[in-house]
Amino acid sequence: MSSADVALVLGTRPEIVKLAGVARLLGSQARIVWTGQHWDANLTTCFFDQYGLPRPHHRLKGVGGEARGRQIGRMVAALSDHFTRRPPAAAVVQGDTNTAAAGALAAHCAGIPVVHVEAGLRSFDTDMPEEANRRVIAPLADLHCAPTPAAAAHLLREGIETERVLITGNTVVEATLESLPTDVEAGRLLARHEVDEGAYVLATIHRPENTDDPVRLTRLLDQLAAVDLPVLMPLHPRTQAAIDRHGLHRSTARLRLIDPLDHATFLALARRCRLLVSDSGGVQEECTVLKRPLIVVRNSTERPEAVRAGFARLARPGQQLALALREALSDTTAAERLAQLPSPYGDGSASDDIVAAIRHRYLVPDPAAAALLPAPGTHPALAATGAR
């Protein structure tokens, strides 16, 4: 197949971050399709600018802020129309968002091959909307770019053919390393937020399991406020709305609530904090590159590699979180210990491997050139999954 371009279906801030390297490597062969799932400019526009990406070649309308079912339905309809008018050689979706599920379904219905970046993650928690999205995408994808051997093993156990699975590492590694500000810039950021290196906590909370339950959210905020260090908390619009809706301003009085951060600023603060507390999936990956301890405030995680490697700890608000905070803040050897550990998400070459596989399968018309590229299913790490 030698169609001119590949559609990168994006709709959220993490998708911009994690597919920016893929988009840059594809160059003029990348068609950026923006669904608008994240509609707040603070969460999106600055990320296109920061990563030097062109503005989307095609935008969907009327998607942001809709309930999940309506949002996915509208995206599938609009993407189906677009793919019918301008069929790409393949459609790339990333992760487990509503955008990713809709992009995969629309492309599959249009007969377009689907490339799933960050494939194979599983929490086995059916209460997580993201788990349903991951399960929707898996049987539709033509090429699964798994970040770890464990993720690849999930796919193989579900019956995905070995030749459709490629272990690439996670693109978050290179995105994190490329985005880190200099020490001088980081020093200015710490001064601006009036914190000292290693003497503050950085917290991000936005998932429905934490924000939709007022009792749980109150407990979480109160426990953060009880920490005997400054707690910086970039406030996601969903969390701000929940605080307003539930009348929890008293619980946030001792926290330093700040506006959402661009990626570089967040990484600079994360790299120099004493402790990270978050319910974000991306932060679970980033902490392994930044070498900082993380408490994951969730019921379950689809990224157990960070926990197994020693970077992260899972804790629910309540006694679990109180104990985790106390132990993490009293651990004076964490920074030195974590600095010696490799990230389980790869060495920073994921985008190169993904783009090589895309060109091999969908864009390279010259067999001699294709023969020089790594073929999906041949990655040596597949041996660890028991696929051979």
Mean pLDDT by 10 residues, the chain (388 residues): 81 92 95 87 67 87 84 95 97 97 98 98 94 97 98 98 98 95 96 97 96 96 96 94 95 94 94 97 97 97 97 95 97 95 97 97 62 45 38
Q: How do residues 116-156 score in pLDDT, each as one tens digit?
A: 999 999 999 999 999 999 999 999 999 999 999 999 999 99
Indicate whether 88 belongs to any domain. Answer: yes
* pLDDT value at residue 367: 45
- pTM, whole model, 2 decimals? 0.89
CATH classification of the domain holding 378: 3.40.50.2000
11 and 158 housed in the same domain: yes
End-to-end CA distance of the chain: 29
268 and 319 housed in the same domain: yes
Q: How many domains does the chain have?
A: 2
159 and 127 housed in the same domain: yes
Which one from 154, 206, 236, 263 is the annotated catalytic residue?
A: 206
295 and 157 housed in the same domain: no
121 and 224 housed in the same domain: no
- Give ∠ CA 107-286-72 in degrees, rounded to 5: 25
Helices of type H across 272-371: 281-290, 304-309, 319-330, 334-338, 350-358, 367-370
Spatial distance between the Cα atoms of 149 and 132, rounded to a whole number of angstroms: 21
* pLDDT value at residue 49: 78
23 and 113 housed in the same domain: yes
Indicate whether 343 belongs to any domain. Answer: no
260 and 321 housed in the same domain: yes
* pLDDT value at residue 3: 61
* pLDDT value at residue 42: 58
CB 94 within 8 A of CB 15: yes
* pLDDT value at residue 364: 64
* pLDDT value at residue 192: 96
203 and 54 housed in the same domain: no
Spatial distance between the Cα atoms of 382 and 146, rounded to a whole number of angstroms: 10
CA distances from 164 to 7, 44, 167, 362, 381 (A): 19, 32, 10, 13, 14
Judge whether 206 counts as a catalytic residue.
yes
Q: How do residues 78-93 score in pLDDT, each as one tens digit?
A: 999 999 999 999 999 9
* pLDDT value at residue 66: 80
What residue numbers bound the domain in which 294 lies? 182-338
* pLDDT value at residue 382: 43
